[in-house]
Amino acid sequence: MNIKIINTPFTRETARSLKCGETIQLTGTIYTARDAAHKRIAELIKKGEPLPFDIENAIVYYVGPTPSKTGQIIGSAGPTTSSRMDVFTPDMIALGLTGMIGKGARCPEVVTAMCKHGAVYFGAIGGAGALLARCVESSETIAFEDLGPEAIRKLKVKNMPLTVIIDSNGNDLYRLGREEYLGSVDHLRGNIFHSIFHVSNHESDYIAHKSSKVTSD
């Protein structure tokens, strides 16, 4: 497997170079934000006020880590469902956001914004929060501390394993994978039908042959 090494800042040029289905290892600075934090970011954008971090060439990870135990940098840090952030995402992409990490499908408006501005949606391994937490070298709460686990954190990660789910051309691994699966199912059905039809023809020939023998006898 060819794994691409990607470092932050994550420029639009780098985003446009990645293709749906590719595997990467991400190193650098990313920011955590779930739906509550996104709602507040949207309010800041609407008011024209400064955002908690420089959104230009940034990557946001849709995660709300569990509390860290003694000796841990961060608790379990698995991705949350990305569709919760869909309503806020196009405006953030337009302002310079180039990468998002989560799980699950995205709405057409998000994909359109990705194609227009040059952004990528990465998939992290769902259910492997403890494993992903091992990639985090440092964690600092930088905004909305009152949100607890949903506060915005600045993370430094190393060799974080991700898959390009939707690229900047709108190619969607979920859709392509489903189409490939359905294509293979249709192919299998065709083979089964052909086999049954082939056997049925042989049976018909055999029955016709036996009937002709009985008639002639």
Catalytic annotation present for 194:
no
Q: DSSP states of 126-195 as a string?
A: TT-HHHHHTTEEEEEEEE-GGGGGGSEEEEEEEEEEEEEEE-TT--BHHHHHHHHHHHHHHHHHHHHHHH
User: How far is residue 201's CA from residue 197's CA, in Å, rounded to a whole number?
Assistant: 6
Could you say which of 38, 117, 198, 202 is catalytic?
A: 38
Catalytic residue numbers? 38
